[in-house]
Structure 1
Amino acid sequence: MTEQPLSQRVTAPASVAEPRHPDVATWRSPTADDVDAIHALIVAADTVDHPTWATPRDEIEDLFDAAHIDPARDLRVGFDGDGRAIALGVVMIHPSRDVHVNTYLMGRVHPDVRGLGIGRDVLRWEHESALSRLASMDASVPAGIFVYIDEVDTAGRRLAERRGFALERWFSSMVRDLALEAPSIDVPDGIDVVAFERRWSESTRLARNDAFRDHWGSLETPADRWTKMIEGPHHRDDLSFVAVDGDRVVALALGSVNEDDWEMQGYSSVYIELIGVVRDHRGMRLAPAVITALLRAARDAGLDKAVLDVDTESPTGANSLYGRLGFEATERAMALVARV
């Protein structure tokens, strides 16, 4: 059945009031000059919410560079009387909107001022802003507003549920000691597992989009967003591997390194950004083949551990595969969704 246009089925407030709270001196839309202040806020929150990894500064810069984000419309920052950023509201609609419209709310509150009700009004502003934007769209596709919350953030979960968000999914971080020997995996004749090179970039993007088409909450990665990731400061060609069938990439495991994580973790690590196999090549052991190639390269590079995140209900049984390869679950995060 065809969905009604979002403009007809989404109820939004007539106007969205700006965030307000007596303990916040100033709220405003940020500019690129505020990147360091926002990053300091998020790093402070990271140490409490997920103390084993840090948000890179370039992810904050991306809020001001991405074509699908308008900082004046989609971002709000709250400052205390000393000019310190203590609250952040972010509303981001995924740029791929032809089959589903996914909107993400990514607010943060500094640990020093939690428990005062600031987060409640940040979420209120984000949620109402998201509804307002969706109500202005004529797309006749399913839509959802997503909030990702770390398992330890029970207060954040309560706030989201009070606004009508429902828990739909759990995601688990998993860690593997690279001192463990990585098994050798045989692949079918005609398929080669090779280190990623930029000449494979577009074919790898297409493979990623095909592989994730049946994954919960996943939408296609557009070419510009893909290029930004591959050419970003953390991606590592030498810690990324693809399985190639002729001139087509059919499986991928892409690694990145953020050395800011290492002090928090207490060890050096590679983060496995993406693992996927195109649907017509599943069942050939290509996922473990590209993963183990990455693990061996990371060990040879002198790194201590490999880290990844996985949907605990992945349709491919990925979490079971990673367990068999020696990964162990650590932290968890929740995905809460308001369907519209």
Structure 2
Amino acid sequence: MSEKTLAARLGTATEPTLPHHEDIAQWRPATRDDIDAIHAVLAAADAVDHPTWTTPRSEIADDFELEHFDPASDSLLAETVDGTVVASAGAMLHPSREGGELTVYLSGAVHPQWRRRGIGTQLMAWLDTRGRQQLAEAAAADASLTAAELKIFAEEPNTDQQQLADRLGYRAERWFSSMVRDMATPAPALEAPEGITVVEYTHDRDDDARDARNDAFRDHWGSRPSDPQRWKQFVGGEFFRPDLSRIALDADGQIVAFCLASVNEEDWVTLGASNSYIDLIGVIRTHRRRGLAPLVVSRTLQAIADAGLEKAVLDVDTASPTGANTLYEGLGFAATERSIALVTRV
């Protein structure tokens, strides 16, 4: 890495200019009134790029509540002459400054009927410029920051998005696989180690669970600490299911492992079966190599089966240092779709 400071490497923040495209009558920031229009674009894109699940409307709405996301500066919509939104994008600077590092997450989608016209090229260029502007402004305000990255998650079938990112210097660094388990196969009955108790998740443990999550994921690739606002949205959201989620406690009552699950019935149609999505699985670093991950997953699988759901779904980093993909295969999960993390570093 260069000996220059991060601020010097990033240079002066450049204001992104609005794109120009003959098929687009207006490029403008998004507002809360556009949530349904954005959701319509993403739903159409999801059906092509990852047809087994659809982005929930509430996930889009949650972004508009975040303190670190300013739609007026951080979002962009492409609108046709009749007022139809055909593309959307957002650049979000993560609030964490842990380790002197910054991360901007870039996301965008073009309605499939409007692809291959150059709209995505314009959208990606705007996103990259806005993301770099966010990094430059943050680095100029904090001399302790030493590293920065911009990150895009692309679905493997969406090669157009991958090519656009590649032209701007983004490189594939990690692959994430969706895995599905048929709940007709009974969950393994695993015994807890001495001194460990597995219990159903309850909301009085929300703060403890966030602390456990941040410890467990501290050394995982690309992971940033979950901030209180985003965590509250997750555990307080409409899809989170405490009754299916399990936490492992040590003799002092500390959360040492967790398996947190949700249910979105809209995904039942796209997957073709009732299912629960396992959002987070983790073990705090002081309690690894004791079999706690398969333990909490097996207990959550049993809860999913008891609820009468047909499938369990999760996503896994295929190069995880914990060997998670091998663990889940051993628990009966089979890989289906893949997504790719595309990254450029400063």
* 1:12–1:131 contact (8 Å) kept in structure 2: no
1:233 corresponds in structure 2 to 238
1:71 corresponds in structure 2 to 71
Match of 1:220 among 206, 225, 228: 225
1:96 corresponds in structure 2 to 96
Query: Given the two structures, how large is their TM-score scaled by the length of structure 2?
Result: 0.95
1:116 corresponds in structure 2 to 117
**C-alpha distance after superposition, 1:45-88 (max 9, x if no partner):** 11001000010001111121111100000001111122111011
SS in 2 for 1:187: coil
CA distance in 1, matches of 2:253, 2:316: 29
1:165 corresponds in structure 2 to 170
Matched residue type, 1:307:
V
Does the alignment pair 1:293 with 2:294?
Answer: no
SS in 2 for 1:310: strand
CA distance in 2, matches of 1:141, 1:178: 47
Matched residue type, 2:262:
S
Does the alignment pair 1:153 with 2:158?
Answer: yes
* 2:212–2:257 contact (8 Å) kept in structure 1: yes
Q: Mean alpha-carbon deviation: is it higher for 96-105 or for 6-15?
A: 6-15
Match of 1:269 among 269, 275, 300: 275
Matched residue type, 1:177:
D
2:196 corresponds in structure 1 to 191
How much has 1:12 moved relative to structure 2?
5.7
* 1:3–1:142 contact (8 Å) kept in structure 2: no
SS in 2 for 1:83: coil
SS in 1 for 2:46: helix
* 2:153–2:341 contact (8 Å) kept in structure 1: yes
CA distance in 1, matches of 2:137, 2:3: 15
How much has 1:273 moved relative to structure 2?
0.3
CA gap of 1:73–1:303, structure 2 versus 1, over 3 A, is same
CA distance in 1, matches of 2:43, 2:88: 12
2:132 corresponds in structure 1 to 131
RMSD: 1.4
Match of 1:203 among 200, 205, 208: 208
* 1:256–1:271 contact (8 Å) kept in structure 2: yes
* 1:145–1:339 contact (8 Å) kept in structure 2: yes
Unaligned ranges ≥5, structure 1: none
Q: Name the count of aligned residue pairs.
A: 340
**C-alpha distance after superposition, 1:281-338 (max 9, x if no partner):** 0111110111011111111101000000000000100000000000000000110100
